[in-house]
Amino acid sequence: MTGTEAVPRVLGATPAAASGPEHVTEPVAYDAILLAGFGGPEGQDDVIPFLRNVTRGRGIPEERLEEVAHHYRHFGGVSPINDQNRELKAALEAELASRGIDLPVLWGNRNWDPYLEDALAEAQERGFTKLIAIATSAYSSYSSCRQYREDFARVLEEKGLEGTIQIDKVRQFFDHPGFVEPFIEGVRNAVDELRERVPGIDPATEMRILYSTHSIPSTDAAKSGPAERGFGEGGAYAAQHLAVAEIVSQEATGGVIGWDLVYQSRSGPPSMPWLEPDINDRIAELPALGVKAVIIVPLGFVSDHMEVLWDLDNEAMETSEENGLVAVRVPTPGTHARYVKGLVDLVLERRDGVPVEQRPALTTLGPWYDVCRPGCCENVRLGFKPAAAGLAP
Ligand SMILES: CC1=C(CCC(=O)O)c2cc3nc(cc4[nH]c(cc5[nH]c(cc1n2)c(C)c5CCC(=O)O)c(CCC(=O)O)c4C)C(CCC(=O)O)=C3C
Ligand SMILES: [Fe+2]
């Protein structure tokens, strides 16, 4: 700490995240923000081509694809994710305007229209050469960080824009207050709601908080984040979720209510290990512990996309009911004012080259890196691919 300002760093600073080549503290004159989304289908005809885009070369079993296609078909073939990103883009533009910041927002997706290619074409047309990307994913792993960076590099290469357009990326923001505070508020509200719905309930013994995130293959998890920091089997991915869950529990309940980190939306062949326990398996164990009500927190997700609507609001809710539990699902950050403000702060942090000591982070793991090391979050199954926004090898 420099002592200039009280930064809300609940657990104090950690040497591992201290200033180094992974943090950029030189100001950069960015031309625009690149909002990089996942993308989703917007009609029945889009469903299969979209799923082909997502799963190309991944070895996802046919039955799993049919199952996921069914989730989309249930909602008319429309994923909510594109509208959520349209709303986020509008909210970012309003926040930027209200703060007098002149940075246009270009939106492009990895897997569906509008594509990253379209956003880059627009950047080229408008003569932009320095973009700061916000990917709609908060944690470190292949799927939630590196895959975005590889796609930036691929599109720049395909368009012959390497060396002309620079794409930087804001740090993974899992422990930024703008991302975490909406969850704290959501858990507080959920506790109040459950007290009303289950009169006389004892939160300490009869409530449980389940922090849920996307399962990923165990090999991807082990490779998430820099190996040097020794995060163990679950890698930075599991460590980050555990640290954020701890903070949310402390801030929202004083640590009184018991909690677990659980996983959802497993894919891949059954023979391949993915992170566990599955949320539904954990829910089924809770009645035997005396639990009567469960608070489901979609801690791994920035908005209410398909995995939240289907796997939590449908499946996990049904499992809770079957097990005689009252359940509440907490909102995702979505377009919460604190989240939107936080994303703009993350952009300014890079534009202005804010010293690391002044960057807010609520866990000892962060503030996370601006530029990743060469092998960070590499996918061992798919092999090495070049990635933008990284340190030179
Ligand atoms: C960590 C993670 C996030 C980040 C969490 C976050 O920050 O949001 C995320 C986000 C998303 N994943 C999404 C959709 C899909 N993901 C799939 C497949 C996979 N996801 C994986 C992981 C993640 N995925 C993995 C390891 C696979 C296996 C294939 C592979 O190794 O790459 C498949 C194929 C079918 C299947 O296998 O399930 C689909 C359709 C959507 C759009 C939802 C909508 O339309 O609303 C979003 C935002
Ligand atoms: Fe996914």
Pairing of strands 293-297, 105-109: unpaired
pLDDT category at 19 given cuts 50, 70, 90 is low
CATH topology match: 10-173+336-388 vs 177-329: yes
Find where tokens 């990917």 sit.
135
Which residue has the least CA distance to atom 12 on ligand 1? 38
Q: Measuring from each residue's beta carbon to the nearest atom of ligand 1, which residues come in under 6 Å?
A: 38, 40, 51, 54-55, 58, 60, 64, 68, 79-81, 137, 141, 143-144, 214, 216, 267-268, 300-302, 305-307
The amino acid that residue 379 corresponds to is N
Cβ proximity of 308 and 301 under 8 Å: yes
CA of 119 to the centre of ligand 1 (A): 22
> Considering only CA atoms, which of 110, 94, 105, 106 is closest in space to residue 146?
110
The protein residue with its alpha carbon nearest to ligand 1, atom 30, reads 58
From the annotation, which residues make up the binding site for Fe-coproporphyrin III?
79, 148
Helix (H/G/I), strand (E/B), else coil: 61: coil
Taking the CA of residue 72 as reference, the ligand 1 atom at the shortest distance is 45
**Per-residue model confidence (pLDDT) at position 60:** 87
Reported confidence tier of residue 8, pLDDT bands at 50, 70, 90: very low
Atom of ligand 1 nearest to the CA of 305: 46
Architecture of domain 177-329: 3-Layer(aba) Sandwich (3.40)
Asked whether the beta carbons of 169 and 132 are under 8 A apart, the reply is: yes
* Closest ligand to Cα 268: 1
| Phi/psi at 232 (5° precision) | 85, -165
Instruction: Give residue 101's pLDDT.
Output: 98
| pLDDT > 70: percent of the chain | 95
**DSSP assigned state of 312:** I
92-100 long-range contacts, CB within 8 A, separation 24+: 92/33, 92/35, 92/340, 92/343, 92/344, 95/340, 95/341, 95/344, 96/344, 99/344
What pLDDT score does 228 carry?
84
- pLDDT (mean) for 95-121: 98
Whether cis (ω within 30° of 0) applies to the bond prior to 360 is: no
Measure 3 CA to ligand 2 centroid, in angstroms: 41
Predicted pLDDT at 46: 97
| pLDDT given at position 14 | 42
Helix axes 337-351, 177-197, angle to 10 degrees: 170
pLDDT digits (tens, 9 = 90+) for 271-330: 999 999 999 999 999 999 999 999 999 999 999 999 999 999 999 999 999 999 999 999
Domain limits of the chain? Answer: 10-173+336-388, 177-329
Nearest protein CA to atom 38 of ligand 1, as residue: 267
**pLDDT tier, 25 (very low <50, low <70, confident <90, very high otherwise):** very high
* pLDDT at 363 (0 to 100): 96
Report how far ligand 1's centroid is from the alpha carbon of 284 (Å): 25
| pLDDT tier, 9 (very low <50, low <70, confident <90, very high otherwise) | very low
Which residue, by CA, sits nearest to atom 17 of ligand 1? 54
Which pLDDT value is given to residue 381?
Answer: 87
Using pLDDT thresholds of 50, 70 and 90, give the confidence band for residue 227.
confident
Judged against a pLDDT cut of 50, whether residue 11 lies above it is answered with no
State the Cα angle at 99 between 94 and 105, rounded to 5°: 45
Range 173-190 average pLDDT: 98
CATH number for the domain running over 10-173+336-388: 3.40.50.1400
pLDDT, tens digit (0-9, with 9 covering 90-100), for 46-81: 999 999 999 988 888 888 889 999 999 999 999 999
* Both tokens assigned to 182: 């909406």
- CB crowding 71-100: b at 16 or more within 10 Å, else e: bbeeeebbbebbebbeebbebbeebbeeee
Task: For ligand 1, atom 25, name the residue with the nearest CA.
Answer: 216
* CB-CB contact of 389 with 167 (8 Å): yes
pLDDT of 349-380, one tens digit each? Answer: 999 999 999 999 999 999 999 999 988 999 98
Query: Could you tell me the distance, in angstroms and rounded to a whole number, from the CA of residue 38 to the centre of ligand 2?
Result: 8
CA of 23 to the centre of ligand 1 (A): 28
Question: Over 80: is that where the pLDDT of 1 sits?
Answer: no
366-382 burial code (b ≥16 CB/10 A, e <16)? bbbbbbbbeebbbbeee
Would the pLDDT of 15 be above 80?
Answer: no
Give this complex's ipTM: 0.93
Write the burial class of residue 156 (CB in 10 Å: 0-12 exposed, 13-18 middle, 19+ buried).
Answer: buried
**340-347 mean pLDDT:** 98
pLDDT, position 17 = 53
Contact 241, 261 (CB under 8 A): yes
DSSP secondary structure string, 350-384? Answer: HHTT--GGGS--SSTT-SPPSSB-TTTT--TTT--
